[in-house]
């Protein structure tokens, strides 16, 4: 394979130039970071699972009419996507209080919110991705009012769809993070859903036991993160012997790590 030009290396993924103009290859790493990269580690096999989960979620969202950057998965760790101009805002959708909102406002974790909340964070690692208001977004022209309307309505549709999708496999979608990007056509642009949707950027709790099946296992040193990610993929039906892409066997056993606190799969 010819050497590809690396465009960017982030905390969880590497972006390479794609085979055609306007495309990129997203390579999913096993690297995990938390608390603005103060905590660093790896979750064995995470990249493989996140690539697969994100493919599945983006395809399903595409089917309900959400425009996304996803084109196709290339192999175990890579997917081909449309290159977009990333809006420098992390969009967080919350159904249940957890994490930073619990700390900031003193709401007990697990408390259902009176209604779904959308929060915006300025995407800047140097500043620690600070919480911002829509007024900041307008003031600094990070996105237009029209774009913000599109973002909010897509975020709500995505939330409704994903809540149902996860509820069907006995998982509560507590919160999740989205990124959007612009695709330009002359002077006009439209927004598409970009980046990834995976247990790295979602809080996913087992509905029966409350067990965490997401990156909080890593953040909070709970152990069993490999099994938790794998359990989400398994419940989504992604670990069976189905077609896993160009001539490949999806061999997760190669990635299994040692467990500190086993996740008991539901029967």
**For ligand ADP, which residue of 30, 55, 147, 179 counts as binding (CB under 6 A)?**
179
**For ligand ADP, which residue of 83, 95, 230, 244 counts as binding (CB under 6 A)?**
83
| Minimum CB distance to ligand ADP, residue 29 (Å) | 7
H or E element, residue 161 = helix 145-167
- Asked if residue 239 lies in contact with residue 230, where contact means CB atoms within 8 angstroms, the answer is yes
**For ligand ADP, which residue of 76, 132, 194, 236 counts as binding (CB under 6 A)?**
194
Number of residues that bind ligand ADP (CB under 6 A): 17
Q: Does 11 bind ligand ADP (CB under 6 A)?
A: yes
Reduced to 3 states (helix: H, G, I; strand: E, B; else coil), residue 101 is: helix
| Minimum CB distance to ligand ADP, residue 237 (Å) | 25
Distance, in Å, from the CA atom of 195 to the CA atom of 88, rounded to the nearest integer, reads 12
Three-class SS of 16-49: EECCCCCEEEEEECCEEEECCCCEEEECCCHHHH
Please identify, using beta-carbon distances, which residue of 96 and 154 lies nearer to ligand ADP. Answer: 154
Beta strands per DSSP E along 98-216: 112-122, 131-132, 171-185, 188-194, 202-206
**For ligand ADP, which residue of 84, 98, 174, 228 counts as binding (CB under 6 A)?**
84
Q: Does 90 bind ligand ADP (CB under 6 A)?
A: no
Contact set with ligand ADP (CB under 6 A): 8, 10-13, 15, 24, 69, 81-84, 86, 179, 181, 194-195
């Amino acid at each position: 394979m010819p050497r590809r030009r690396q465009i960017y290396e982030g905390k969880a993924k590497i972006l390479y130039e794609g085979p055609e103009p306007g495309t990129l290859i997203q390579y999913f790493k096993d690297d995990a970071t938390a608390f603005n990269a103060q905590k660093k580690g790896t979750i064995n096999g995470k990249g493989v699972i996140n690539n697969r989960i994100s493919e599945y979620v983006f395809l399903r969202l595409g089917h309900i009419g959400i425009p996304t950057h996803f084109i196709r998965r290339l192999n175990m760790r890579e997917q081909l996507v449309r290159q977009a101009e990333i809006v420098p805002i992390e969009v967080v959708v919350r159904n249940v209080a957890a994490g930073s909102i619990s700390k900031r406002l003193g709401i007990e974790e697990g408390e259902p919110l009176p209604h779904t909340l959308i929060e915006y964070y300025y995407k800047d690692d140097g500043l620690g991705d600070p919480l911002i208001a829509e007024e900041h977004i307008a003031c600094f022209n990070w996105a237009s009012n029209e774009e913000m309307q599109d973002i909010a309505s897509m975020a709500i549709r995505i939330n409704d769809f994903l809540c149902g999708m996860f509820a069907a496999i006995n998982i509560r979608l507590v919160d999740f993070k989205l990124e959007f990007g612009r695709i330009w056509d002359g002077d006009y642009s439209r927004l598409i859903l970009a980046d990834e949707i995976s247990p790295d950027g979602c809080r996913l709790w087992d509905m029966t036991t409350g067990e965490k099946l997401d990156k909080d296992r890593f953040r909070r040193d709970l152990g069993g993160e490999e099994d938790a990610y794998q359990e989400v993929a398994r419940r989504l039906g992604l670990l069976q012997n189905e077609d896993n892409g160009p001539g490949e066997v999806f061999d997760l056993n190669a990635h299994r790590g040692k467990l500190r606190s086993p996740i008991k799969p539901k029967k």
